[in-house]
Amino acid sequence: MTEKTYLYGKNPLKEAILAHKRGATFAIEKLFLTKQSENDAEISSLIQSNKLDYTVVTRDEIESFVGRDTVHQGVCALLNEKVLYTTLDEVLTKAKSKSTNSLFVLLDELKDPHNVGAIIRSAVAFGADAILIPEHNQTQITGTVIKTSAGMNFSIPIARIGNINTVLEKLKQNTFWTYGLTGDGDTTLTDVKFDTNTVIVIGSESDGIRTKTLELCDFKLSIKIDNKCESLNASNATAVTLYEWQRQQG
């Protein structure tokens, strides 16, 4: 049975509503509030202005959905799994209709939901067009991912993909250049010119990008850092790279 996905916290709720106002399909199936959060002025205003139905529950009931260690602020929502994701073909079609360069961020088996959430937040901040997430051996969109991204997952298409290497080949056929982030890459970020459609590939926290996938990347990209620091984590390295991509787009 597929595990249910819950959103929790005020900000993710607000972002889900804002995304709906911008034209996205509403992701929330059921909304749950504690009595205390029902009386919160900010939440009450959100509920009333958007005519949302909800069920009043106890904190224990919310924590049975999202866990006892979560900061849920008395807000929890069951999400429609189908609305959380799109397809590779859909994001490619949108990219082809643009007059400017497109940027995709492809995650290669990241396991830490905090890293995934932080990467999504950076991707939105620096103008990426889509996140590509493999279906297997990869953290999907969870409550923790949504919370860490500050609800930014509702502001960017997230495409579920199959075999990463097959996807990279398809993207190359569609005029994308691929850049694999790796500590020992032979091309430094400061030497790269992002002047075409771009895919940034980020590998797992422990092993980095897998060998075959890295071989398929057009560039093996590294970031110069002070030698007192061994490396950047996946989300920090991604943020630096996306900032540079945005800077070059003007």
Per-residue pLDDT reduced to its tens digit, 68-90: 989 999 999 999 989 999 999 99
Residue 76 sits in the same domain as residue 92: no
Alpha-carbon distance of 216 to 178, in angstroms, equals 8
The answer to whether residue 228 is domain-embedded is yes
One-letter amino acid at 218 equals D
Alpha-carbon distance of 107 to 205, in angstroms, equals 11
Residue 183 sits in the same domain as residue 237: yes
pLDDT at 140 over 90: yes
**pLDDT value for 23:** 86
- Chain-centroid distance of CA 169 in Å reads 22
Q: Which whole number is the average pLDDT over 78-106? A: 95
Residue 34 sits in the same domain as residue 138: no
Nearest Cα to Cα of residue 119 among 238, 247, 242 = 238
**pLDDT value for 230:** 83
Residue 45 sits in the same domain as residue 96: no
Residue 124 sits in the same domain as residue 54: no
Answer with the one of 45, 67, 84 that is the final residue of a domain: 84
Tell me the pTM: 0.93
Question: Mapping DSSP to helix (H, G, I), strand (E, B) and coil, where does residue 126 land?
Answer: coil
Q: Which whole number is the average pLDDT over 44-65? A: 93
**pLDDT value for 46:** 86
Mean pLDDT of all residues belonging to the chain? 94
Residue 47 sits in the same domain as residue 112: no
Tokens of 36: 């205390």
Answer with the one of 61, 84, 107 that is the final residue of a domain: 84
What CATH number does the domain containing 144 carry? Answer: 3.40.1280.10
Residue 70 sits in the same domain as residue 103: no
The answer to whether residue 164 is domain-embedded is yes
Q: Residue 6's beta-bridge partner residues? A: 78
pLDDT at 2 over 70: no
Can you give the residue range of the structural domain that contains 64?
Answer: 6-84
Q: Are 225 and 188 within 8 A, CB to CB?
A: no
Q: Please give the full DSSP string across 192-231, using - where no structure is assigned.
A: ----SEEEEEEEBTTTBS-HHHHHH-SEEEE----TTS--
Q: How many domains does one find in the chain?
A: 2
One-letter amino acid at 172 equals K
Q: How many residues does the chain have?
A: 250
Answer with the one of 43, 68, 84 that is the final residue of a domain: 84
Question: Mapping DSSP to helix (H, G, I), strand (E, B) and coil, where does residue 154 land?
Answer: helix
Residue 48 sits in the same domain as residue 131: no
Dihedral of the CA atoms 66, 70, 75, 80 (nearest 10)?
A: -40
The answer to whether residue 127 is domain-embedded is yes
- Angle ∠(161,163,165) on CA atoms, nearest 5: 115
154-204: pLDDT as tens digits: 999 999 999 999 999 999 999 999 999 998 888 999 999 999 999 999 999
One-letter amino acid at 162 equals G
- Helix ranges (DSSP H) in the chain: 10-21, 35-38, 41-49, 59-66, 81-84, 88-97, 113-125, 143-148, 164-173, 211-216, 234-249
Specify the DSSP class assigned to residue 152: G
Residue 78 sits in the same domain as residue 106: no
